[in-house]
Amino acid sequence: MNKENFSMTRIIIFSVVALLAAFTIGYYIGNDNSRRATVVPSTKDGLVDQKLITTNDIATRECNFRIEPGNNNEPKALVIDKLKLIDIDSYKVIGNKLFYTTGPVYGKPEIGIIDCVSAINKTIVFPENKQGSYPYGSDVFRLKKVTKKLTANVYNIQYWYGADVDKIDMKKFENDQNLKTFIFKND
Query: Mind listing the pLDDT tens digit for each residue in 53-88?
Result: 333 445 555 788 888 887 766 678 888 878 888 888
Average pLDDT, the chain: 75
Structural domain span for residue 23: 1-36
Q: How confident is the model at residue 44 (pLDDT cuts 50, 70, 90)?
A: very low
- Is residue 137 predicted with pLDDT exceeding 90? yes
**Residue 184 in contact with residue 113, Cβ under 8 Å?**
yes
Domain match, 57 and 19 both: no
Q: Say if 42 falls within a structural domain.
A: no
- Residue 8: pLDDT band with limits 50, 70, 90: low
Establish if 43 belongs to a structural domain.
no
- The pTM of the full predicted model, rounded to 2 decimals, is 0.66
Residue 43 reports pLDDT greater than 70: no
Domain assignment present for 147: yes
Q: Are residues 178 and 91 in the same domain?
A: yes
Tell me whether residue 45 is in a domain.
Answer: no
Task: Give the span between the Cα atoms of 139 and 168, in whole angstroms.
Answer: 10
Same domain, 62 and 94: yes
**118 and 65 co-located in one domain:** yes
The full DSSP string for 111-134 is: EEEEETTTTEEEEEE-----BTTB
Q: How many domains does the chain have?
A: 2
- Residue 70: strand, helix, or coil: coil
Q: Quick one: 55 and 19 in the same domain?
A: no
Mean pLDDT of 162-185: 93
- Cα–Cα dist 153/170, whole Å: 32
In the chain, the percentage of residues whose pLDDT exceeds 70 is 65
Are residues 94 and 55 part of one domain? yes
93 domain-assigned: yes
Amino acid (1-letter code) at residue 70: G
Tell whether 31 and 54 lie within a shared domain: no
pLDDT digits (tens, 9 = 90+) for 22-36: 444 443 333 333 322
Residue 65 placed within a domain:
yes
